[in-house]
Chains A and B, each alone.
Chain A
Amino acid sequence: MRLDRLPTLRINPSETCTLHYNGKTSAGVAGDTVATALYANGVRVFGRSLKYHRPRGLYSLDGECSNTCMAVDGIPNVRAENTPAKNGMHIDAQNVQGSADFDWMGFMDKLDWLMPAGFYYRTLHKPACLWPFALKQVRKVAGLGKISPDFKMKGRYAEIYPTADVCVIGGGAAGMSAALAAAEGGLRVILLEARPWLGGSFDYRVSPYDGEKALYQRARELAAQVEAAANIRVFKHAANVGLYNNNLVTAFQVGPEGGAFDERYIEIRAASVVVATGCIERPLLFENNERPGVMQVGCAHRLARTYGLLPGRRAVFSIGHDLGLEAAVDLCDLGMEIACVADIREDGQNPDLLLALAEREIPLLRGWVAAKAYGAKQVKKVTLRTLEGSVKRQLECDLLVASAGRTPLTGPLTLAQARLRFDAHTGYFLPADLPAKMHAAGSLTGRNHPLAIEASGRLAGLKAAADCGANTAEAVAAAAARLSQLPGPERGTKLVMAPVKGRKSFICFDEDTTVKNIKQAIDMGFDVPELIKRFTSAGTGPGQGGIPGHNLPLFAARYQALAGATPVPTTARVPLVPTLLATYAGAHHDMCKRTPLDELQKRDGGVFRRIGVWQRARYFSEDFSCREEVLNVRNNVGMLDGSTLGKFRLHGPDALKALQRVYVGNMVKLTPGKIKYSAMCNEDGCVIDDGVVVKIAENDYYFTTSTVRAGETAEWFRYHTRYDGWDYHIVNFTDALGVINVSGPNARKVLQKVADADLSNEAFPFGGYREFVIQGGIPVRAMRLGFVGELSYELHAPASYMVCLWQILAAAGKEFGIRNFGVEAQNVLRMEKCHIILGVESEQRTNLLDLGLGFLWDRHKTETKTVGTVALRQVEADPARLRLVGIEMDDPRRAPRDGSILVDKRIRGYVCTARRSFTLERSVGMALVEAEMAALGTRLEIYEDECNGQKLAARVVPMPFYDPQGNRMRM
């Protein structure tokens, strides 16, 4: 039974959809929210409250509290009032044992005396053993939505990063006027509106705007102008969630059905911002003020005007604002019986509205307020009292429209660090000062007259344009003059709460916080709103400050009755409205790097792992000990993709100076054709990188870094030479050149088949660098290194040739049984040689000397001011440092896990890498231990996670474990 002819409707009654709720199907219409669709089907109790399992229903229709949080298609805590109904949705009520209407836990409401403010902080922790039990019980009984650990989020999420000159938050009359004014000079303007349509508080009202138009018609007129402006981008159904430094505005938008996204994250950088978020209603505090059937003025009015649903049959109004009178008149005209209107205000009502009430014979009680609502699951009766409480009257009704007044939505301003001050005239928290390039407009500033709302919007829009350099001085002056002629901010109601004790007067619905709880908190010494908030958890639920935000400070100030004290608002935080994490994650593009050989190695059975930014082949079989891969390198020949290695060209007149600054070695001694292994330290002497440097020509160098440092190397060079003004240039070759490491006793035989150069040990010895061509077409830079401890050629070739090069080598090596080895096999091989990997054999505090790499440091080049050497000199004799040592396990088949700790009575160090070595048939590794335990032969005890006290035994042994003379890599 919809009112389907109203011109203000935002639904299309001819288009229906079906929802599943409580075992039944409910019919909604296009444009419905989940909440309105259920309401149309007679649902009044939407869920049960957090602690007391009190029935809860529609209250604000804007999702400002958890009353109508429901599980929608398995997603918990969805705000039914803000979620468009879609065909086939499955809806479930939350925190109920049974159904929302018949909740077995309903008796909890009677136990409130057991649960004073902060009861779980104060009672359930003594004795401590009680807590786990209490926790379990509390979790069973209390809470909102439930989510299963294996829940997979559905939906399509997107993101968008527009830039704007002016961003207007709020698409009501003020926001639209601001956007139009700002856009006049051609600036780029963005308008954000939380509801699916523009219009704000004009949208559903039929009161006159001027002689000709009603408010809703004016709203549509403005909306049409906004939509027609080419330089205004409108994001509807896009709730503002954050406002940060330099006007970074964030929002999330609900997508239209069938669109490209379900929700998307919007991040806007604007030069200037206009906040025109308007007002919500200040909840009225009285007994059972959240009983289903009690709702705010806008909720009742919009149910009828926007969704075509009469909210009840017989209503009592208890209001404190002309909007309440307006709604009573309009709902009366739409066919609802209005039993009585109680207005908190003794005077000051709009005379036209008083006349309209009288014409309709609606009784008006001035200076009266609702004191208590009756009815177990829905309002049946209400007690009205005079403000001081002396006279009372009871009325039957099925709807109680209750509102203490209005309260501005200042969340964005608070986020932007604007100071709010309590304004005695309006009773609002109004901005005392705004940050640069930010403006407030509309009913947020206390104005209620429609023309004043628009004029304030226009003024703000013009000022914002001026922030962007537009010459709007004259227009600003004219707009300011116009605004000054229009009615200013209106007087607000002073009433804080009805004359009741407040045991069942809820100041926060989400957390079931009553006025009585607030009193208890204050009596215990929590005297300021921020503390009361934390102790009673008022305002910490899904609605944040929406319901208690204004009443809590007002009540705290009144209850304490401090002389001259003004109410202090609590802080708003991001996100201003509940947002799905999935929306924040957006499209969630996982950006990772792949080497040129990625596809080939996948084909060869590579098992990939994310290592830093790269995807790398870690294993080439399901045997993660890599036995075959390791032994093939030791006995034959293998190929490794080392393309992730950092590679750089450094050139220019001051290139050598730059090298000298960051490398601990002396780079003056470099000669072409020979590589130099060296390391970089930070200012504390801790090693951050190692690699090799080659001199290609005068003032022209080629060097490598570890995989993880590649991205920061250029930055590191420039940082440490930032005061010097040196003339040198860095080219990052990391991705330009791929690397294949051909290692093993047969490496030369394989490579010689395809290389156009003499690869004999004499022509190209260990430690050499050569450039040659493979198979007449592929230029390579080759290095003879021994990271894995065998004869080894590291070939650097242009990335685009890498697939081809790999195939050539694979073909050439076929007769020898060449095969891939992965990162883990390399890890074992180099560990057997005790060649370190930074970040594995070192952590942030490990310095060059700890690792036994002091030989890399040229201590005589002090004039180069090499990074880290001052610190190295200073810690050289420090005995209180960890040392890197080789360890061998007593059990040759059992290596400890990496990271296991070395203990005696306390922790004495940790295992960096340890593996069962198939080459040596021992279990060996490297560990960082306290210096006094570093002597050869020292017994060590290793404690692994979950070892149940069964420690592993090891001892310190000489390094390296394999081929100590290094003959094999020099073959």
Chain B
Amino acid sequence: MTRIERRSPVQFKGRIKKWEVRDNWTVALAYEDEGQGPFLVDLSHITRWDLQDKSLSRFNQPPGKEVPELPGSCRLQDGVLVTRMNRTQAVIWHLLSGAPDLPAESGYTDVSDATICLALFGPNALAVAEKLCALDFLDPGKQVPFLLQGPFSHVPCQLVLMERGRGFDGGLLLTCSRGYAESMVHAILGAGAEFGLKPAGKERFTDWLGTAFPAQDTSSRKGKPA
């Protein structure tokens, strides 16, 4: 009998050094020769929920886990990222651990398989992004983490800027339609070649997230009004 397994559409060429099997996924934890950064990590296996409702404030339970109010704003707590997409929609990303069962309310949809999810972070990560899109990650009027929805390498994407450091250092999460996986990874790695961008495993991401958000509790304050 064929073993039941789930596959990410992102297949890096590097050799996997360490991996784990979780919920039918084989997750690469580390690759051989991940370089000095920037890094590209495949997070397509993480559970993502789409939440749509006329009044999202209904879902502000439990207290402290409110859905961020302004479109584009984000909240990260206990490895769960909540991004406000628009007036009626939010996305919940279970970045670190496995997710609980999908809540029963009809507003929730599991959309994990709809998109690929990539993390691009480290030195010059935003310089890589600048070669692929005109979106302004360096806008001083916005504070991390924040969400941008727009074209990245010509494909509509949801992009969460998680960290901004010196110059073009920083990190972002990216999701786009799953079908674009191969093209998107090719474009990003191509754009990042001059900066030494390499695929990396999930551990690299977890470490970075821990450094970028030591307290694991970050609500983006309101951006500067446009």
Contact = CB atoms under 8 A, between A and B. Distances in A.
Interface in B62-117: 88-89, 106-107, 109, 111-115
B183 A589 contact: yes
B2 interface: yes
Interface in A598-633: 598, 613-614
A919 to B, nearest CB: 32
B177 A593 contact: yes
B33 interface: no
Nearest to A188: B138
Contact of A731 (B111, B182, B184, B186): B111
B58 to A, nearest CB: 13
Contacts of A181: none
Interface in B26-61: 44-45, 50, 52-54
A729 interface: yes
A123 interface: no
Interface in B174-195: 177-184, 186-187, 190-191, 193-194
Contacts of B114: 731-736, 799
Nearest to A248: B134
A163 B138 contact: yes
B208 interface: no
Nearest to B45: A800
Nearest to A653: B54
A589 B6 contact: no
A723 interface: no
Nearest to B184: A591
B183 A652 contact: no
Contacts of B112: 736, 800
A161 B133 contact: yes
Interface stretch (A679-687, A804-812, A961-969): A804-812
Contact of B106 (A699, A775, A801): A699
Contacts of B9: 594, 596, 799
A62 B131 CA distance: 28
Interface string A667-700: 0000000000000000000000000000001011
A482 to B, nearest CB: 30
B4 A804 contact: yes
Contact of B113 (A727, A735, A803, A808): A735
A587 B154 contact: no
Interface in A158-184: 158-163
Given A735-B114, A737-B113, A807 B186 contact: no
B12 interface: no
Contacts of A768: none
Contacts, number: 136
B21 interface: no
A163 B179 contact: no
A697 B106 CA distance: 10
Contacts of A802: 7
A735 B177 CA distance: 6
B217 interface: no
B4 A801 contact: yes
A942 to B, nearest CB: 38
Given A729-B52, A800-B8, A593 B179 contact: yes
Nearest to B154: A591
Chain B interface size, as a band, is: 35 or more
Interface in B134-178: 134, 136, 138-140, 153-155, 177-178
A135 B56 CA distance: 70
Contacts of B136: 163, 269
A731 B138 contact: no
Given A735-B113, A735-B114, A798-B6, A589 B177 contact: no
B24 interface: yes
A361 B52 CA distance: 87
A735 B179 CA distance: 6
B109 A649 contact: yes
Q: Taking each of B2, B106, B186, B193, which has the highest tally of chain A beta carbons within 10 Å of its own beta carbon?
A: B2
Contacts of A240: none
B131 A587 contact: yes
B139 A800 contact: no
A733 B131 CA distance: 29
B179 A594 contact: yes
A596 B180 CA distance: 11
A354 interface: no
A728 B140 CA distance: 36
Nearest to A162: B130
Interface residues of A, number: 52
B52 A731 contact: yes
B24 A777 contact: yes
Nearest to B9: A596
B2 A160 contact: no
A592 interface: yes
A257 interface: no
B207 interface: no
Nearest to A812: B2
Contacts of B1: 775
A439 to B, nearest CB: 22
Contacts of A651: 52, 106-107, 109
B7 A804 contact: yes
B25 interface: yes
A614 B183 contact: no
A267 B134 contact: yes
Contacts of A735: 113-115, 177-179
A269 B134 contact: yes
Contacts of B44: 800
B4 A776 contact: yes
Contacts of A799: 9, 113-114, 178
A778 interface: yes
Contact of B187 (A161, A162, A188, A587): A587
B54 A804 contact: no
Nearest to B115: A735
A725 B23 CA distance: 40
B7 A590 contact: no
A734 B180 CA distance: 12
A807 B89 CA distance: 36
A595 interface: yes
A731 B53 CA distance: 12
Contact of A594 (B52, B182, B194): B182
A594 B177 CA distance: 10
A531 interface: no
Nearest to A591: B183
Contacts of B88: 729
A807 to B, nearest CB: 5
Given A267-B134, A589-B190, A737-B113, 11 more contacts: A161-B131, A587-B190, A594-B9, A644-B179, A727-B54, A729-B52, A731-B50, A733-B114, A736-B113, A777-B24, A804-B7
6 contacts: A161-B133, A594-B179, A596-B9, A731-B52, A777-B4, A804-B6
Interface of B: 1-9, 24-25, 44-45, 50, 52-54, 88-89, 106-107, 109, 111-115, 130-134, 136, 138-140, 153-155, 177-184, 186-187, 190-191, 193-194
